[in-house]
């Protein structure tokens, strides 16, 4: 026993460096933020308030709107995006398809554009005299321009469209890479047994992709919960607070209003809690034993 400890001393030393770095740069700030969430006040004048921030949270209509908006994005956008990504990856994996590389690049390209740049483009596309409105009016689908960004419903739609455009290709790449790892003989065997394309998809492709589906669901969920750039640049949370997300609200509390970093930390911990809960549910549903 003692001998093995000695033997592994060098190994322990190597592992200590990243462990200390992670503790210092991840766990310490997390712990500090937790302590901060029990304090409140303007700027530097923070004082301990106990659970007051958490009480305030429950009766804060802005926070509740931000939470329900974020969950709306989550519930609508993540499934739509993942189904689209899956569909495209299966299509683009077809050997018989011409110009596959071109299509793959085209669909993946949005994922490498800057968040701010594409948000601004979306904002102008959906402005009252933007290209979308002109298109709709030229086709006589509407008489007057639709005020996409001044309408509580349409502004949410624009945000969902924007993030779907940005992230579908990114998720598609994961599916594509794992599709290529599925042994072709499995499909051949299925065809010999008389399975049609739909049966092959649901009985072979889906189960084989399960770990990747789980991974993309979790990362997309976390990504949507942290939604910020698009909100700030496309709608600035408006009209009213119809598109406000939790992250945007944290930003407002820290930098737009008179700073209350304590309460902002409380709100940010809500995201942590939601992420933990949702991830646990997703693991359970996917049936991961470990």
Which residues does 100 contact at the CB level (< 8 Å), separation at least 6? 92, 94
Among 14, 255, 277, 281, which residue sits at the site for another protein (rule: CB under 8 A)? 255
Residue 38 binding another protein, by CB under 8 A? no
Query: Quick one: which segment of 54-62, 160-168, 188-196, 211-219 binds another protein (CB under 8 A)?
Result: 54-62
Residue 29 binding another protein, by CB under 8 A? no
Query: Quick one: which segment of 9-17, 67-75, 131-139, 256-264 binds another protein (CB under 8 A)?
Result: 256-264
Output 1 or 144, the one with its CB closest to another protein.
144
SS (H, E, C) 25-74: HHHHHHHHHHHHCCEECCCCCCEECCCHHHHHHHCCHHHHHHHHHHHHHH
Among 100, 157, 182, 278, which residue sits at the site for another protein (rule: CB under 8 A)? 100
- Interacting positions 206-235 with another protein (CB under 8 A): 235
Output 105 or 199, the one with its CB closest to another protein.
105
Residue 47's beta-bridge partner residues?
A: 40
Terminal-residue alpha carbon distance, the chain: 29
Q: CB of residue 101 vs another protein: minimum separation in angstroms?
A: 4
Which residues does 85 contact at the CB level (< 8 Å), separation at least 6? 168, 169, 171, 172, 174, 175, 216
Output 145 or 195, the one with its CB closest to another protein.
145
Residue 238 binding another protein, by CB under 8 A? yes
Question: Using CA atoms, how far apart are residues 281 and 65, in angstroms rounded to an integer?
Answer: 23
Residue 261 binding another protein, by CB under 8 A? yes
Task: Name the 3-class secondary structure at 99.
Answer: coil
Q: CB of residue 15 vs another protein: minimum separation in angstroms?
A: 32
- Closest-CA residue to 64 (of 241, 253, 257): 241
Instruction: State the DSSP code for 113.
Output: S
Question: Using CA atoms, how far apart are residues 47 and 59, in angstroms rounded to an integer?
Answer: 21
- Closest-CA residue to 250 (of 273, 274, 226): 226
Question: Using CA atoms, how far apart are residues 175 and 86, in angstroms rounded to an integer?
Answer: 6
Q: CB of residue 250 vs another protein: minimum separation in angstroms?
A: 13
Angle between helices 61-92 and 152-179 (to 10 degrees): 40
- Interacting positions 104-133 with another protein (CB under 8 A): 104-105, 108-109, 112-114, 117, 123, 127-128
Output 30 or 97, the one with its CB closest to another protein.
97
Size of the site for another protein (CB under 8 A): 43
Question: Using CA atoms, how far apart are residues 1 and 260, in angstroms rounded to an integer?
Answer: 53
Site string for another protein, 147-176 (x = CB under 8 A): x-xx-x------------------------
Among 3, 4, 10, 101, which residue sits at the site for another protein (rule: CB under 8 A)? 101
Which chain residues interact with another protein by CB under 8 A? 42-45, 56, 59-62, 65, 100-101, 104-105, 108-109, 112-114, 117, 123, 127-128, 147, 149-150, 152, 235-242, 252, 254-259, 261
């Amino acid at each position: 026993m003692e001998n093995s400890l000695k033997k592994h001393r060098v190994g322990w030393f190597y592992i200590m460096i990243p462990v200390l770095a992670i503790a210092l740069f991840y766990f310490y700030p997390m712990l500090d933020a937790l302590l901060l969430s029990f304090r409140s006040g303007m700027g530097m004048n923070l004082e301990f308030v106990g659970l007051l921030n958490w009480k305030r949270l429950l009766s804060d209509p802005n926070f509740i709107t931000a939470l329900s908006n974020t969950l709306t994005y989550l519930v609508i956008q993540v499934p739509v995006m993942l189904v689209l990504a899956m569909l495209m990856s299966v299509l683009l994996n077809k050997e018989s398809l011409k110009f596959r590389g071109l299509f793959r690049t085209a669909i993946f390209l949005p994922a490498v554009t800057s968040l701010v740049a594409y948000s601004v483009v979306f904002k102008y596309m959906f402005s009252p005299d933007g290209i979308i409105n002109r298109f709709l009016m030229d086709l006589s689908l509407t008489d007057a321009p639709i005020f996409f960004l001044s309408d509580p419903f349409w502004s949410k739609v624009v945000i969902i469209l924007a993030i779907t455009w940005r992230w579908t290709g990114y998720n598609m790449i994961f599916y594509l890479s794992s599709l290529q790892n599925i042994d072709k003989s499995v499909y051949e065997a299925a065809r010999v047994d008389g399975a049609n394309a739909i049966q092959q998809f649901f009985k072979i492709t889906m189960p084989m992709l399960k770990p990747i589906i789980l991974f993309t669901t979790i990362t997309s969920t976390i990504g949507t919960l942290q939604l910020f750039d698009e909100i700030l640049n496309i709608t600035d949370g408006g009209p009213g607070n119809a598109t406000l997300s939790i992250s945007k609200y944290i930003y407002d509390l820290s930098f737009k209003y008179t700073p209350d970093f304590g309460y902002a930390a409380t709100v940010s911990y809500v995201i942590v809690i939601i992420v933990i809960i949702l991830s646990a549910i997703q693991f359970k549903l996917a049936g991961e034993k470990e």
